[in-house]
Structure 1
């Protein structure tokens, strides 16, 4: 079948980073693939595109695929099918070519035309811009920056905003140009029905450089050469530097069908057997079988991403091949399940397999550093050990073997131990070998002699799961169910759960710098004093499932457990043991770890080789990792905010989004292109305007916020790859939530005004009620005063008057010279004074000054009543424009004026008493003045007459009214009493406000 008929078989579209000018420095080549690789396939079921004809990677690391149902975007975890990019629709969902150049994404369509999407903008090219209505096969950017595309009509190049056709006059005859490649010197190498053509760098003139007819495939090699394949499946290597074409020969047992070379210089062959990687020696290194491994049978396109992964597209989906951090070795077909590994001092690694079903044909072999294998007489090995003298020991249920200086020696097990597997072995400082024998407890073996329990009866009762001889000469015995024993000389000490031991079955014991560490299926603990303390990782989780532990010569602690290998760096080990928290690196199935180590036996599942490699064994594989050369991903990921979603709709992540009112519940989706191990990606984010601290999202790619108010917000997100390398800068999205009318400042001010008005209205209503209540009380008081006045007038005063008349009759009935005449006259004068005083009190009670507030009328009435009785003249004057007084102020002023008038008329003996009311803008004043005899000097100095409190009461009333009282008196020159009240305390509110606005 012709290669062209197989859906554009095998194109290598290199990322933009590999398309460089001749003057640019070449990127450092990646090393050749090692023997262990991890493969993953995505099909339609996982959302992957099928039959992809174009693939590219943008500067942010995102993969883009051109398919016949749209453009797909992939971040390593999720495929997104797009019919629009940054809000700009594709001209057609049937796409064929795609290329990322800087921030721009170029898309070619199956029915003609090219679109360029760049930072939210789009530019479409079609017939009007010079392109034909034919399929765009490829879009390529040459080293001089020129954009090229290929069609069934030939080649086109972009001149400004117009595409120019490469015509026959340019050296390229009309015809189908399917594939072409940008060479490192800036030229273009294009296939043509007549051969392979190349232009002069920087020009559009082509000339034929290789081949005859039928060149179907050419792929750019890492050194700039091009692999050419014709219809006859003949392969040649075209040198871009010399222009020479050299045939390429394949091994006879490798059918040379649909080959390609990746960025590492590795040759891959896609044939009926699947996809095969050829090693540097051109021999098959690894095969990925079609359908059973790959997503499909036919590879359409390949891409080497910036992290070193190889991507393939097939008729069914997308595949990724990457190196694993753990390297597994090839094992015999029958070797599986309970495997163990034991390196020796000369670099050989001995690999064993233990079967419990009686099959002893699984032979132990030695793996030399050069990959060669050493045969052994061993089979069905249950335990192995590297002795302190550098020799090796192996054992099973029948024989104990010893290898020293390349020679083997064997001792059959005693009759009573036949069929009892060796569980574990250790050599103490006295040179005694301790063995744990299944169902028979511990034994000591020395010089061919066996001693049960080493002479300690208690050690024969239980079978130790693990053994350890520490540097102090003690031997430790680990048992099931949190039990541990130590033999120190002849003394045996037991440890258990009461001593803090909580690791389950004690499967591993080691000593590090004098500290004893034990591990089991439930965790790892360290002996602190006489108690065991559990160790946890940095997240506080126990280190469960530790089947074996090793401290390497580099000072690192390694554990082999049910979830993979765990490493504690030397720099973190001491601090971690002190804090009981260990910073760990884990190597699990994502790093090529398969199966799990035996939890009971054999336990030689973790060892360090002489070259520093850590060897491990599981139920499915045996492999190694080099701690000095652990592959790391130094590529800092670029986080991206992709979508903002509210309760109402979804928005593309664009700058300065304006969201409608009440967009209080938001979901923000983000991602980062981490393609090697996306399962270990970590994100952290924050929403400025809502919070300042970063939130740890783990691997979650969405953030949720509720009850957001209107305002401006800035969302920031950072990403870390599988090795903890964080983004250099956060991805951001700024958006604004518009306020509803009820959320605006104007509405809040209106509400505040409404509240103030309501409060004012309530205050006015309350004051009205209070005023009415006070008025009611005043009227009640007035009625009571009038009742008292009537009672005094109608009863008391009339009774006094009648009494006086009776005394007067008694007087007239006595002789004129009677001694009682003078006494009766004195009594009548006193009664007359009482009667006068009573009438004044009745008058005061009947005045309605408190209710009416008419101070002038009240004082005038009082003065004109008192004046005739005391033979004096009364004058009242008003200065200024009279203004209504506050009821309380008028009452207090009247009381003070009344007291002053009474004192003037009664005691001053003045011929005239005057009252002056002065209504000024800033104050009100009341002055009572007489021209009488004045106050006695001692009374004026004291401020009151002994036993009388009229002056004191006047001063207290003035203070309560918020004013001042001034009394001036001089003997023989009369007395002046002046009350002054501030306008705000004297006048009613409206009058006071009016006065405040009146300029002085």
Structure 2
């Protein structure tokens, strides 16, 4: 006897719970048909009542304590403009086709458009429903009114036109409101259902109705496209609960749904014409054709008390309950677990048979799925064991089942055992395959592990380890023999008694969990180190370096289009066949892979036994993950083709918020800038990706992935344009995106006029420096010209005063001697005189040539050079010469050194030749300045010569000119009693190449003099 259960296969939904109740963030509850995500946010201080999505993509939630805006990630409480307060309780919302949001509160109606809020009928009743008719008119229903204008009102410009008794409406209040295909309005009040059109009304009263107070009675109305009307009441009983009217006549419901047993609180008809039924205490029912699905708090719904539904632009169904907001969406990967009827969540293998049956190896049961009915074979039904291991369908359609440590063939409702010759248990079968000779091969774990060949339900051959290496997976080779995925990560081929082993290199050591043999003979293997492929004797490994999102693979199967599906650690991965072929041939270094992850319902893990993955004849792919079974249908994957609206929400500059208006002007010296943006896709908000670019700063698009803020620091003043684009969960990009223009003001020193001024000032300074340099160069050239001219003048004087005069005198003597050539005595006297004068000329010429040479050969030997001048040549008899150097000799400027030498040379020669003194003193002092003294005790200089020199002689004048050239001060003191004292003082800044100036130089000079004289300072 088999146990069977019916499954609602039509519902594949995701339930995302965003509630204010105390739940753990990101708690995941698995079940067949949908996956529940709870996201604690805590922004709902009151229960949500209504949901709407405006044309800009934002989702609005009306709660007991205000209005909340949601972008898929963040809940932002909406604050009314100052002076336009709304009542805190919001019970109805309508997103109009013009982009405006109509808000119904406990006291008034309001309209929000482009940030402007308009209030209607303030303090005149609670707004219960708001709809927009086919003709665009806005209708509302109200209750708790304090006037007799009527419960049904139409918005006309900035006022309301209400309809009451005079218009055929006898009820003082109205609740739910709907418009049918003919333009008639339907509304409920107490237990009455009213149809109203053009001043006439028809009331439909259930046979077993009892009027109540307030809004008890009709709670929800839906008008179907076929003209039928669905109504729901909050009371159970005959004629109550859920009803359907066709042409005003109540009609029977789906036999599996007992409408009279429901306390209906909300109704909604989605775009697939499925009816969603919210109840007071039983959660949600979904009626689609003849199928009924139910979701309650047991399935992860935030509460069993439902207050409203809303379907957004992407087809997500939002549910408001007393505890929060839930979101249903189509889920790509379907999960089968105990919630869908499995006997246990310990699934070790799954096999899709040729007849479409899905066999599931579970703990305590062999289960199978046919159509939408799940059946289970347990021990009470003849299952000869508890744990089902590996599964195999042979060429005849028979099912081979590994059960604990035995192997059976299931056929015609019986389990026939496969025995060994000695009748000993085969062992735990972990993998099986059938070769083209119809041999069934089974890998058995034990001590030792072994490979069995079974023919005719008898074990014909046993190949134990280590002769046959231990394997984790088996696959038949279409050319004969079998392939083994080994424990050590290698591939092996066993054919006609011969074993060949192939190593994948870097992937070695990672066991081959499952293999796939393709039609061209290539072998694919799923390992924990990537996908290995063997073809034509070559073995390569595809890893995350080649485009795989992750390396750890649990199973693999090909779909009807030969695309490869990998059950991987990071999700379910699809790789197109062309991508694999191009990678294998070397045309591409990496492959493009599409990943279906946890947001799509994938929960990959490694199953214990083969097969881990299987493909059914209808193209659906099935995977076992050691806990549950998962399924994906590649041919019916819905894609989200709607690009998400992109919005820039705010700018935060130095912790101050700015609204993203057309032109945001930020203050000067703005340092830290944050731009918050969002993209409104609610299918999988966690998969929404962004790219942004700040024109003027970013050269390329920045890829923040899912981050919803851009950060900049120290932007210079200027005008900027920020562009942001985004894609939805399926990679559909909104290339238009959003644009924000903003500017940063400059400080005064960052303004253009200041920069121009600085540029002009720098140019002026540069021009002045250039002119100074030109002047310096011209002065230096002039000085050099003056020096050359002075030197030529000096040489002319010296040649004229000495050498040329002597030559001229010699000529006169020769001429005089030639007048009497026969006068021998006169001729001899003239020749002797000429000889003496020529000797004098030679001496004077040599002196002139020496004056052209440098004064010294070494830079600091001015003193010794002057001493040498004094002691050389003819020293007058009785004259004593002394020379001294005071201070540390310093490096002199060559010009100063030469000129001072020549001045000293002239003074010394004059003293030796004309002073007739008994001593000559030469002193050279290195101090702050450079001083030269030449003293004698001779007869002195005639006062008439001291100032201008002797007529026809240029010695004293030349000394003055030389002193002036080096900025020296020449002093001549002379008297007949004391002799002559000639001194020259040259400033240190001119004399020395490295002068020491300032007070520290003077202190150093005094200190050295004191040390030298052994005197204190």
- 1:399-418 aligned at under 5 Å gives the runs 399-403=406-410, 408-413=415-420, 418=425
Which residue among 50, 53, 57 is the counterpart of 1:57? 53
2:771 is paired with a residue whose SS is: helix
Number of the residue aligned with 1:581 = 590
- 1:549-560 aligned at under 5 Å gives the runs 549-560=556-567
Determine if the alignment matches structure 1 residue 546 to structure 2 residue 543. Answer: no
State the distance in 2 between where 1:796 and 1:687 align: 89
Determine if the alignment matches structure 1 residue 124 to structure 2 residue 110. Answer: no
Determine if the alignment matches structure 1 residue 709 to structure 2 residue 700. Answer: no
Number of the residue aligned with 1:42 = 18
Deviation per CA, 1:364-397, whole angstroms, max 9, x where unpaired?
A: 1332235263746434221111224433211234
State the distance in 2 between where 1:419 and 1:447 align: 16
Deviates more, 1:669-678 or 1:565-574: 565-574
Deviation per CA, 1:788-818, whole angstroms, max 9, x where unpaired?
A: 2332332234334433432343345557999
Deviation per CA, 1:455-481, whole angstroms, max 9, x where unpaired?
A: x87545x43211122112132222223
Determine if the alignment matches structure 1 residue 622 to structure 2 residue 641. Answer: no
State the distance in 1 between where 2:603 and 2:103 align: 43
- Cα distance, 1:817–1:662 mapped onto 2, change above 3 Å: same
CA-CA distance at 1:520 after TM superposition: 1.6
State the distance in 2 between where 1:701 and 1:197 align: 49
Determine if the alignment matches structure 1 residue 148 to structure 2 residue 139. Answer: yes
- 1:873-892 aligned at under 5 Å gives the runs none
State the distance in 1 between where 2:710 and 2:535 align: 44
CA-CA distance at 1:504 after TM superposition: 0.7
Which stretches in structure 1 are left out of the alignment for 5+ residues?
1-31, 355-361, 839-1000
Number of the residue aligned with 1:288 = 296
CA-CA distance at 1:94 after TM superposition: 5.4
- Cα distance, 1:198–1:450 mapped onto 2, change above 3 Å: closer
Is this contact kept in 2: 1:399–1:413, CA < 8 A?
Answer: no
CA-CA distance at 1:436 after TM superposition: 0.7
1:320 is paired with a residue whose SS is: strand
CA-CA distance at 1:90 after TM superposition: 6.2
1:73 is paired with a residue whose SS is: strand
State the distance in 1 between where 2:370 and 2:90 align: 53
Is this contact kept in 2: 1:382–1:423, CA < 8 A?
Answer: yes
Is this contact kept in 1: 2:419–2:459, CA < 8 A?
Answer: no
Number of the residue aligned with 2:725 = 718
- Cα distance, 1:652–1:92 mapped onto 2, change above 3 Å: farther
Is this contact kept in 2: 1:146–1:158, CA < 8 A?
Answer: yes
Number of the residue aligned with 2:614 = 607
Is this contact kept in 1: 2:650–2:677, CA < 8 A?
Answer: yes
Deviation per CA, 1:316-339, whole angstroms, max 9, x where unpaired?
A: 321112232233446556422243
CA-CA distance at 1:753 after TM superposition: 0.8
CA-CA distance at 1:624 after TM superposition: 2.5
Is this contact kept in 2: 1:210–1:245, CA < 8 A?
Answer: no
Number of the residue aligned with 1:191 = 188
State the distance in 1 between where 2:176 and 2:392 align: 60
Is this contact kept in 2: 1:495–1:501, CA < 8 A?
Answer: no
Determine if the alignment matches structure 1 residue 99 to structure 2 residue 94. Answer: yes
Number of the residue aligned with 1:390 = 397
- Cα distance, 1:399–1:84 mapped onto 2, change above 3 Å: same
1:66 is paired with a residue whose SS is: strand
CA-CA distance at 1:421 after TM superposition: 0.4
Determine if the alignment matches structure 1 residue 227 to structure 2 residue 225. Answer: no
Which residue among 501, 505, 508 is the counterpart of 2:511? 505
Number of the residue aligned with 1:346 = 355
Structure 2 length as normaliser, TM-score? 0.69
Which residue among 368, 371, 375 is the counterpart of 1:369? 371
State the distance in 1 between where 2:182 and 2:749 align: 66
Is this contact kept in 1: 2:490–2:508, CA < 8 A?
Answer: no
- 1:274-313 aligned at under 5 Å gives the runs 274-277=283-286, 280-281=289-290, 285-289=293-297, 293-313=300-320
Number of the residue aligned with 2:863 = none
- Cα distance, 1:393–1:638 mapped onto 2, change above 3 Å: same
Number of the residue aligned with 1:864 = none
Number of the residue aligned with 1:905 = none
State the distance in 1 between where 2:413 and 2:304 align: 49
- 1:384-783 aligned at under 5 Å gives the runs 384-403=391-410, 408-413=415-420, 418=425, 420-439=427-446, 440-454=449-463, 458-460=466-468, 462-496=469-503, 499-502=505-508, 504-512=510-518, 513-536=520-543, 540-541=547-548, 543-578=550-585, 579=588, 581-594=590-603, 596-598=605-607, 601-663=608-670, 665-691=672-698, 693-727=700-734, 729-783=736-790
- 1:737-886 aligned at under 5 Å gives the runs 737-813=744-820
Number of the residue aligned with 2:166 = 169
CA-CA distance at 1:544 after TM superposition: 3.1
Is this contact kept in 2: 1:427–1:434, CA < 8 A?
Answer: yes
- Cα distance, 1:348–1:246 mapped onto 2, change above 3 Å: closer
- Cα distance, 1:288–1:193 mapped onto 2, change above 3 Å: closer
CA-CA distance at 1:133 after TM superposition: 4.7
2:773 is paired with a residue whose SS is: helix
- Cα distance, 1:643–1:36 mapped onto 2, change above 3 Å: same
Deviates more, 1:259-268 or 1:405-414: 405-414
CA-CA distance at 1:665 after TM superposition: 4.4
CA-CA distance at 1:618 after TM superposition: 2.3
State the distance in 2 between where 1:482 and 1:123 align: 68
2:479 is paired with a residue whose SS is: coil
1:482 is paired with a residue whose SS is: coil
State the distance in 2 between where 1:398 and 1:714 align: 71
1:506 is paired with a residue whose SS is: coil
- Cα distance, 1:102–1:502 mapped onto 2, change above 3 Å: farther
State the distance in 1 between where 2:392 and 2:626 align: 19
- Cα distance, 1:413–1:674 mapped onto 2, change above 3 Å: farther
1:795 is paired with a residue whose SS is: helix
Say what the alpha-carbon RMSD is for the aligned residues: 3.8
Structure 1 length as normaliser, TM-score? 0.70
Is this contact kept in 2: 1:665–1:706, CA < 8 A?
Answer: yes
Is this contact kept in 1: 2:234–2:263, CA < 8 A?
Answer: no
Is this contact kept in 2: 1:342–1:349, CA < 8 A?
Answer: yes
CA-CA distance at 1:65 after TM superposition: 1.1
State the distance in 2 between where 1:340 and 1:95 align: 52
Is this contact kept in 2: 1:59–1:102, CA < 8 A?
Answer: yes
State the distance in 2 between where 1:465 and 1:33 align: 33
Deviation per CA, 1:500-528, whole angstroms, max 9, x where unpaired?
A: 54471111122222211111222211125
1:730 is paired with a residue whose SS is: strand
CA-CA distance at 1:602 after TM superposition: 1.4
